[in-house]
Amino acid sequence: MNRKYFGTDGIRGTVGQTPITPDFVLRLAHAVGRVLRREQGQNHPTVLIGKDTRISGYMLESALESGFNSAGVDVVLLGPLPTPGVAYLTRALRASLGVVISASHNAYADNGIKFFSANGSKLDDDWEQAVENALDETPAWADSASLGRARRLDDAAGRYIEFCKSTFANDLTLRGLRIVVDAAHGAAYQVAPTTFYELGAEVSSIGIAPDGLNINREVGATHPEALIETVLAQHADYGIALDGDADRLQLVDASGRLFNGDELLYLIAMARTAHGEKPAGVVGTLMTNKAVEVALSAQGIGFARAKVGDRYVLEELHRRGWLLGGEGSGHLLALDKHTTGDGIISALQVLQACVRSGRSVAELLEGLTLFPQTLINVRLPSGYDWRSNTALAQETAGVESELGEGGRVLIRPSGTEPLLRVMVEARDAAAAQRCARRIAATLPSV
């Protein structure tokens, strides 16, 4: 399928440039509304709309509301709410669709639209193609009597907070822990501190003063330096960093050590094993550190790799009937807790493991040492077909044979630049560097 607008996570771009313009977003909502009515065969399906804190969210929210209403679809406005909060409420309120206005970890100048099905899951390629087909059709504006209605749900944040708390063991508490929460001036600026506080933690916060322009700016999961500094200054036990729409997590401990998604995914799997709930398997991505695969295998836990993107991790989990998966960026999935990745719930799973075991994150990860990784970006000549380079293929095969189970090679093109990314992981940092340079040397560069 050649989709014109949808990418791996909805539709995203720079505000004021196609497709992130109010006229297109209105047409998009109208097209989605028509697809909904055809699929469900009912009048006035209900759609929930949530957003992060970007200044453009107001404009796009109004355009979506008008587009849906013009197709005879009712709208419930949730206001600022994390992406996984919209997914939860879509399912809890038995709505037909959930819509999120967010560009996740991007700067404020970007924005996007993503969708959740009635059960709170991301929609498949066929549905997105149906929407794109509907965009090419002539609009069928509803008459006055058939227009959709709009209303606000005033307690959306409170409902979501209670849901997050319900994923934490009832017999445990965060009492005694000092936690710094960094909400990236994003969608979780209210709900995240409240959730951890109501579970008993002593909470201080940064990144909770959104002004429409500062989302993800030098704070949050993509800029953890501010959190590390604050944790050390306040002598806190942990720091929780979320991104703009709060679906990813990075965690800092009292020493200022930063733990990424690969490490936290392994910790959650091991914590379940220790609690008598050993996972059948775990899904990572092509970028997941080899050490995670080796360590899980040593525990008799299966491991599979999906393409990069939490959407593909989710698809692989469903295909295998497994529950745990994630990415190094901090998108973590626990399908027995939520239908999508959730930074707050992921943090609670990690903290629950610490409280239950009486051990710190670092102690729980003593059995895992990430393999050193070397990444070399090679800028290729225009039109160069790297797949036909026999020297590259031979050198890659030689390195893979040399490393064996003690490492791996990943070669993939950039999706945005004329670059080929050569990545080598090995138990020894010098070996990773040496092997990566050998492979890169077989390529022409500009």
pLDDT above 90 (res 154): yes
Please report, for residues 54, 111, 242, 265, the alpha-carbon distance to residue 215 in angstroms, rounded to integers and kept in the order given: 7, 11, 11, 26
83, 246 contact by CB (below 8 A): yes
pLDDT at 69: 98
Query: In this prediction, what percent of the chain has a pLDDT beyond 70?
Result: 99
Rounded CA-CA distance 179/426 in Å is 34
Query: In this prediction, what percent of the chain has a pLDDT beyond 90?
Result: 92
Number of helices (H) and strands (E) in the chain: give both, helices first.
Answer: 14, 18
Q: 255-295: per-residue pLDDT in tens? A: 999 999 999 999 999 999 999 999 999 999 999 999 999 99
Give yes or no: 104 in active site. Answer: yes
What residues form DSSP beta bridges with 97? Answer: 47
Please report, for residues 197, 356, 400, 424, the alpha-carbon distance to residue 187 in angstroms, rounded to integers and kept in the order given: 17, 29, 43, 36
241, 228 contact by CB (below 8 A): no
Record the pTM.
0.93
Residue 36 in tokens: 């909904």
Q: How far is CA 135 from the centre of its chain?
A: 27
Q: 292-305: per-residue pLDDT in tens? A: 999 999 999 999 99
pLDDT band at 34 (very low <50, low <70, confident <90, very high): very high
Domain count of the fold of the chain: 4
Q: What is the mean pLDDT of residues 359-379?
A: 95
Within this chain, do residues 397 and 326 fall inside the same structural domain, yes or no?
A: no
DSSP state for residue 235 in the 8-state scheme: T
Range(s) of the domain holding residue 387? 373-440
Q: Which amino acid is at 102?
A: S
Q: Is residue 89 part of a domain?
A: yes
Q: 171-197: per-residue pLDDT in tens? A: 999 999 999 999 999 999 999 999 999
pLDDT at 41: 80
How does the average pLDDT of the chain come out, rounded?
Answer: 96
Within this chain, do residues 101 and 21 fall inside the same structural domain, yes or no?
A: yes
pLDDT at 382: 87
Give burial (CB, 10 Å; 0-12/13-18/19+) of 431.
buried
pLDDT band at 415 (very low <50, low <70, confident <90, very high): low
Within this chain, do residues 334 and 209 fall inside the same structural domain, yes or no?
A: no
Within this chain, do residues 132 and 40 fall inside the same structural domain, yes or no?
A: yes
Q: Is residue 3 part of a domain?
A: no
pLDDT at 416: 62
Q: Which amino acid is at 71?
A: A
Within this chain, do residues 74 and 29 fall inside the same structural domain, yes or no?
A: yes
Nearest-10 crossing angle of helices 191-198, 156-166: 40
Residue 8 in tokens: 């791996």
> Which one from 66, 70, 102, 104 is the annotated catalytic residue?
104
Please report, for residues 66, 150, 290, the alpha-carbon distance to residue 416 in angstroms, rounded to integers and kept in the order given: 33, 39, 25
pLDDT at 17: 97
* Domain limit, last residue, from 364, 389, 411: 364
Within this chain, do residues 17 and 149 fall inside the same structural domain, yes or no?
A: yes
